[in-house]
């Protein structure tokens, strides 16, 4: 540890303050075990996968829906993959859902429904990276793993006043965050990361942290040096995202059917339903739009992690029987289209094209 940066550091004082605060202030979350009861590894795993890249408020209703539909890992594993993908629609980062299905299958069939307990074994399962393995191992099984999510990163960057900018400082911050966990007993090992996450979410927030009520303010270097916590973690100036453009087709038959397709595994939003269009993700071929009159309905825009996208929405109609269906393409009744669990990008297309279509003369 760079002692010069740290204001009178003391592992055990830090841990006592954090855990005492947690005992009084812990958040009630649907996946969290009640005080003094055993956590469910299935719930911990499901919530941690859902929480990757997604906020707690957004995850709550998905978690509740999943656990009511599939109360056990066996129920989830035995469900048709399409049903799981449909329920995941809107949560984003669909590779997570595909890995969730694969992981449920392995744990249910090969491991008799029991998740492995160590980080090393957990990391062998699909969709479980180092962070998720540490979180499950610690929260579900009481191992003293070093769990470092965005909240813990932010707290560490402030407590230890890390001047290097992210993402370059990631390694340094992770090494420093080890001090948060050193020497924790197995009884409280699962509480520690959850306590830090709660402090990060409610006190040491990204903007305007509530230092005046923070349980660790007397151990926090940024606070003790009267520095501005909003500036930590330091960040490099953001590079502008690349921008892509394409077309998406709303193709109807005269029998009030609409063409949808299931995106293949290797494409972005793989396994999800969408409307045919140009290959905006750079994978596979463009949809060969039939040679008919297409009306321009408008544009939809969507921001992905690595690029922004604008799709021109075009609408056309063909006689029944003239639509050539490729593999994974389907004609569904127009009354069913709102029940398809589209991901957000295609929900936007639906929102734009459906009202325009309803204005057509019958």
Q: Which residues are catalytic?
A: 48
Pairwise CA distance, residues 156 & 175, whole Å: 10
Copy the structure tokens of residue 215. 């349980």
Looking at the Cβ atoms of 127 and 200, the one nearer to ligand SF4 is 200
151 near ligand SF4, rule: CB under 6 A: no
Is residue 161 at the binding interface for ligand SF4, with CB under 6 A as the rule?
no
How far apart, in Å, are the Cα atoms of 127 and each of 21, 47, 93, 103, 115? 32, 13, 11, 7, 13
Query: Least distance from C-beta 206 to ligand SF4, angstroms?
Result: 10
Contact range with ligand SF4 by CB under 6 A, out of 66-74, 82-90, 210-218, 289-297:
210-218
Residue with Cβ nearer ligand SF4 (168 or 231) = 231
The interface with ligand SF4 within residues 299-338 (CB under 6 A) comprises: none
Which CB sits closer to ligand SF4, 89 or 216?
216
What backbone torsions phi and psi does residue 160 show, to the nearest 5 degrees?
A: -100, 5
- Nearest Cα neighbor of 225 from 162, 293, 141 is 162
The minimum distance between CB 5 and ligand SF4, in angstroms, equals 13
Q: Is 184 in the site for ligand SF4 (CB under 6 A)?
A: no
Task: Give the residue with the Cβ less far from ligand SF4, 145 or 217.
Answer: 217
Give the one residue of 220, 340, 352, 353 binding ligand SF4; rule: CB under 6 A. Answer: 220
Residue 227 CB, shortest distance to ligand SF4, in Å, is: 9
For the chain, the residue count is 362
The correct pick among 155, 161, 251, 340 for binding ligand SF4 (CB under 6 A) is: 155
Instruction: Pick one of 49, 159, 173, 340: the residue that binds ligand SF4 (CB under 6 A).
Output: 159
Interatomic CA distance for residues 175 and 159, integer angstroms: 13
Residue 204 touches ligand SF4, criterion: CB under 6 A:
yes
Binding of ligand SF4 by 223 (CB under 6 A): yes
- Alpha-carbon distance 193 to 146, whole Å? 8
Counting DSSP H helices and E strands in the chain, the numbers are: 14, 6
- How many angstroms separate the CA atoms of 323 and 308, rounded? 31
Under the binding rule (CB under 6 A), the answer on residue 216 touching ligand SF4 is yes
Give the whole-angstrom CA distance, residue 156 versus residue 134: 17
Residue 41 in contact with ligand SF4, rule: CB under 6 A = no
Choosing from 32, 158, 302, 347, the residue that interacts with ligand SF4 (CB under 6 A) is 158
Q: For residue 6, list its beta bridge partners.
A: none
Residue in 85, 177, 203, 300 binding ligand SF4, rule: CB under 6 A: 203
Determine if the peptide bond prior to 167 is cis (ω within 30°): yes
| Options 127, 209, 233, 274; binder of ligand SF4; rule CB under 6 A | 209
- Selected range binding ligand SF4 among 174-182, 222-230, 270-278, 342-350, rule: CB under 6 A: 222-230
Instruction: Please report whether residue 277 would count as binding ligand SF4 according to CB under 6 A.
Output: no
Applying CB under 6 A, does 217 fall inside the site for ligand SF4?
Answer: yes
| DSSP string across 15-78 | HHHHHHHHHHHPPP-TTSPPTTSPPPHHHHHHHHHHHTTS-HHHHHHHHHHHHHH--SHHHHHH
Interface with ligand SF4, residue 17, by CB under 6 A: no
How far apart are the C-alpha atoms of 291 and 323, rounded to whole Å? Answer: 11
List the structure tokens of 149.
Answer: 């999510």
Task: Select the span of 46-54, 202-210, 253-261, 286-294 touching ligand SF4 (CB under 6 A).
Answer: 202-210
Q: What's the alpha-carbon Rg for the chain, to the nearest Å?
A: 24
Among positions 41, 229, 233, 274, the unique one binding ligand SF4 when judged by CB under 6 A: 229
Please identify, among the stretches 116-124, 127-135, 152-160, 270-278, the one whose residues bind ligand SF4 according to the rule CB under 6 A: 152-160
Q: Which two tokens stand for residue 64?
A: 């509740």
In whole angstroms, give the CA distance from residue 82 to residue 252.
Answer: 24
Residues that bind ligand SF4 (CB under 6 A): 155, 158-159, 203-204, 209, 211, 214, 216-217, 220, 222-223, 229
């Amino acid at each position: 540890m760079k002692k010069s940066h740290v204001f009178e550091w003391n592992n055990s004082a830090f841990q006592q303050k954090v855990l005492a605060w947690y005992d009084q202030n812990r958040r009630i979350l649907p996946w969290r075990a009640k005080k003094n009861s055993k956590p469910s590894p299935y719930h911990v795993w499901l919530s941690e996968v859902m929480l990757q890249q997604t906020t707690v408020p957004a995850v709550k209703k998905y978690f509740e829906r999943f656990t009511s539909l599939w109360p056990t890992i066996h129920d989830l594993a035995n469900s048709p993959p399409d049903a799981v993908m449909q329920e995941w629609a809107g949560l984003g980062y669909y590779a997570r859902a595909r890995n969730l299905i694969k992981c449920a299958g392995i744990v249910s069939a090969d491991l008799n429904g029991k998740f492995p307990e160590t980080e090393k074994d957990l990391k062998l399962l699909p969709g479980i990276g180092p962070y998720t393995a540490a979180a499950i191992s610690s929260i579900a099984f009481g191992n003293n793993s070093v769990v470092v999510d965005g909240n813990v990163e932010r707290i560490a960057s402030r407590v230890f006043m890390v001047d290097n900018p992210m993402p370059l400082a990631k390694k340094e911050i992770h090494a420093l965050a080890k001090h948060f966990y050193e020497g924790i007993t197995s009884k409280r090992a699962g509480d520690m990361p959850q306590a830090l996450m709660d402090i990060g979410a409610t006190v040491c927030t990204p903007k305007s942290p509530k230092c005046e009520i923070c349980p660790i303010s007397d151990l926090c270097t940024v606070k003790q040096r009267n520095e501005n916590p909003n500036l930590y973690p330091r960040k490099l100036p953001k590079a502008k995202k690349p921008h892509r453009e394409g077309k998406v087709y709303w193709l109807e038959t005269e029998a009030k059917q609409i063409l949808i397709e299931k995106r293949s595994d290797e494409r972005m939003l793989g396994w999800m339903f969408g409307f045919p269009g140009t290959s905006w993700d750079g994978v596979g071929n463009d949809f060969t739009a039939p040679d008919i009159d297409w009306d321009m309905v408008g544009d939809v825009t969507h921001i992905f992690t690595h690029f922004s996208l604008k799709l021109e929405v075009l609408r056309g109609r063909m006689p029944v029987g003239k639509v050539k269906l490729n593999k994974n393409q389907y004609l569904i009744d127009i009354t069913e289209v709102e029940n398809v669990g589209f991901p957000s990008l295609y929900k936007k297309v639906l929102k734009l094209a459906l009202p325009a279509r309803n204005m057509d003369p019958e």
